[in-house]
Amino acid sequence: MNSNFKIVFVCFFVAIILIIILIPLIRLIIFWTTPFDYCGVNEICSDEDLADLSTSGSGTLIDPYIIENQTFEWLYFEGFTIDSSFIIRNCSFDDLWYGYCLYMTDINSDIYDGSFTIIDNCTFHRGGIYLEMCEYMQISNNRLINNINGLFLESSCRNMNITGNILDNLGIFLPYYFTGDCSGNFVNGEEIGFFQNVNDTLIEDSFPQLILNRCNNVTITNQTISQKFAGIITMECWNITIRFCRFTNNSYGIHAEIGGFFLIEKNEFTNNTISSMYLVAWNSTIYNNNFLNNSKGYSNSQAINSGRYNNWDYNYWSNWTDSEPYFIGTYYEDYYDNYPLSEPVDIF
């Protein structure tokens, strides 16, 4: 009896050891042999996800999926595996965490291949809209209320129609490879200035934000811009003059992507959080400007130079305290204001 008990005990012990070893092994085999579903709650990663979310439609060019009259906290679209046409309209988004209500990446719609995307007449509370590497999209007639992110396009968004949107704060940010239309949008009750393929022009009317795309020989004067992600945005622009402007409490005062021969003079940049200026333009002159308490918490330099052959001499920097040249933040060779001014410039 004692011997049988020992045999049973040993067998039981061995069985326990085998279970401890085999269960993780079986789980590992199942993990590696089961297709990985990387989509979580509120994430749209396939045409099937779109079909489940839609109220009608089949996802074709003439019969797109329709997602309407629904309420979401947020939606995330991963576009690598989405080939269908779809429309989101008359929906309400309310992100309690103040993130992006609608986040879309790699939605490469192509009307020539039979797909398109429309976001129309939706309301976004607190959170904004983020689009990255998206094409053939219409973002129209939406309302962004009390948002802290605005309407943000990143990394080569092309063939876009961004029109008729109303924003409470921050405005719109466009990437330098943007193509399409971005006219007729409003922030805080005023129309955003969008100028595309404009030459030989003076802009002196007041705008809450200015966006220039592929412009040449344009002079911008007498603007007062505050609380935007970027006050003035330029993309592939040449021979641009910016003078007699004030930029206050923006993320960037000026964000200039690609281009050259800028003249930036007699402006005042105050309390812009990331930087007074992000300058990728080449062969430009920046002088007789006041830089006051910008980039706090981000950099010791109040400006970022990412272009080449630019001249930053003769500006006033509120954090310049010695006789040495003032260092300009840069991604290429070092740049300096070799003759920083000891007193602010009289601009107006």
Q: How many CA atoms lie within 13 A of 113 on its CB side?
A: 10
| Residues 290, 148: Cα–Cα separation, whole Å | 27
The residue among 182, 301, 189 whose CA lies nearest residue 233 is 182
Q: Looking at this protein, which amino acid is placed at residue 82?
A: I
CB contact at 8 A, 298 and 324? no
339: DSSP letter = S
Q: What's this model's pTM, rounded to 2 decimal places? A: 0.85
Q: Report the distance separating Cα 232 and Cα 253, nearest Å.
A: 7
- Cβ neighbours around 105 below 10 Å, total: 16
Give the pLDDT confidence of 157-200 residue by residue, as tens digits.
Answer: 888 999 999 998 889 999 888 999 999 999 999 999 999 999 99
pLDDT digits (tens, 9 = 90+) for 295-321: 987 888 999 999 989 999 999 999 998
CA distance 128 to 145: 9
> C-alpha 55: how far from its chain's center?
30
**CA distance linking residue 114 with residue 179, whole number of Å:** 20
Cα 311 to Cα 204: distance, rounded to the nearest angstrom: 25
pLDDT band at 2 (very low <50, low <70, confident <90, very high): low
Least confident of 12-26, 75-89, 277-291, 300-314: 12-26
Q: Which residues contact 233 (CB under 8 A, 6 or more apart)?
A: 173, 174, 209, 210, 211, 212, 255, 256, 257
DSSP 28: H
Q: How many CB atoms lie within 10 A of CB 128?
A: 26
The token pair that represents 257 in the structure block: 């992507």
